[in-house]
Amino acid sequence: MSIQSTCDDILVLAENGICTITFNRVAKKNSITGAMYLTMASVLQQAATSGDVRVVLFQGDATVFTAGNDLGDFLNGPKPDENAPPFQFLQALAACPKPIVAAVCGPAVGIGTTMLLHCDLVYAGDNAMFSLPFVNLGFCPEGASSLLLPQLMGHQRASEALLLGDPFMAEAALEVGLVNRVVPPTECNTIAQAQAAKLAAKPMGSLLASKKLLKSGQMAAVQARIAEEGKLFADLLQQPAAKEAMSAFLEKRKPDFSKC
């Protein structure tokens, strides 16, 4: 089964049992458009049913994983809802039965961090920087991060990450268990590929059964939380605070929330 990308900003290579999905918009810091989300959702759905794919791997550039949502695309696109492209991608990611590996270097902003909560192995360059600036942009958490992050970090650390939105570096991510290993950025993709190859060489039935057991205890809760967050996110996106935050970002000024 051939798996193909319909978007030049997302590169897809399926070989040796590994489907590699690469963010390919480095000039825009790999910020993600609606078309990119839909492409990744489609690739994940294809990979889930393909007998030729045993592992999915996400990677970016040695300097940047992704800056998160393309805010210009958000501002100029149609009114979003809980079925908008980002949430289609997140649902497909959470539901994928195959092991998912990620190689993260440089900034991993917003969904660039929350998507990692649905990956099974994550390798980070020592230049990786994770941030969840949803509140700062007038949004709310997404990707079931309001459920999964407190389980991973504890309530206080998750609150610090989600409410303050302050970035944290690779070593802090390693400490709380968000990543498996911190490596030099120039080696990160290669190491992740090697780990993916190890997985691809294992018995497929055992891999699928083991991942299902690891995830099944809260799969329904995760899917429900993604939908709940998506509805709130879409509602908040239409509010003055979000419009002010995104306009300020694009105009390179400090947002003024005094009337929001």
The structure tokens listed for 100 are: 């998912």
What letter does residue 182 receive in the DSSP assignment?
A: E
Helix (H) / strand (E) containing 122: strand 121-125
- 81 band by pLDDT with thresholds 50, 70 and 90: confident
- Is 77 a residue whose pLDDT tops 80? no
What letter does residue 64 receive in the DSSP assignment?
A: -
Largest Cα separation within the chain, whole Å, is 58
Average pLDDT over the chain reads 94
pLDDT at res. 1: 54
| pTM, to two decimals | 0.95
Contact 90, 68 (CB under 8 A): no
pLDDT at res. 131: 98
Contact 37, 74 (CB under 8 A): no
pLDDT at res. 185: 98
- 32 band by pLDDT with thresholds 50, 70 and 90: very high
The 10s digit of each residue's pLDDT in 85-132 is 999 999 999 999 999 999 999 999 999 999 999 999 999 999 999 999
- The CA distance from 159 to 57, in Å, is 29
For the four alpha carbons of 172, 196, 108 and 95, in that order, the dihedral sign comes to negative
- 78 band by pLDDT with thresholds 50, 70 and 90: low
What letter does residue 91 receive in the DSSP assignment?
A: H
Look at residue 62 and give its three-state secondary structure. Answer: coil
The 10s digit of each residue's pLDDT in 150-197 is 999 999 999 999 999 999 999 999 999 999 999 999 999 999 999 999
N-to-C CA span, the chain: 51
- The CA distance from 244 to 241, in Å, is 5
Contact 143, 114 (CB under 8 A): yes
Q: Which of 56-70, 108-122, 223-237 has the lowest mean pLDDT?
A: 223-237
Q: Which residues pair with 58 in a beta bridge?
A: 21, 102
- Is 243 a residue whose pLDDT tops 80? yes
- As to burial, measured by CB atoms within 10 angstroms (0-12 exposed, 13-18 middle, 19+ buried), residue 167 is middle
Nearest to 25 by CA among 55, 59, 58, 66: 66
- Is 199 a residue whose pLDDT tops 90? yes
Give whole-number Cα distances, 37 to 1, 6, 77, 188, 260, in Å.
21, 11, 13, 23, 30
- The CA distance from 68 to 90, in Å, is 13
pLDDT at res. 8: 94
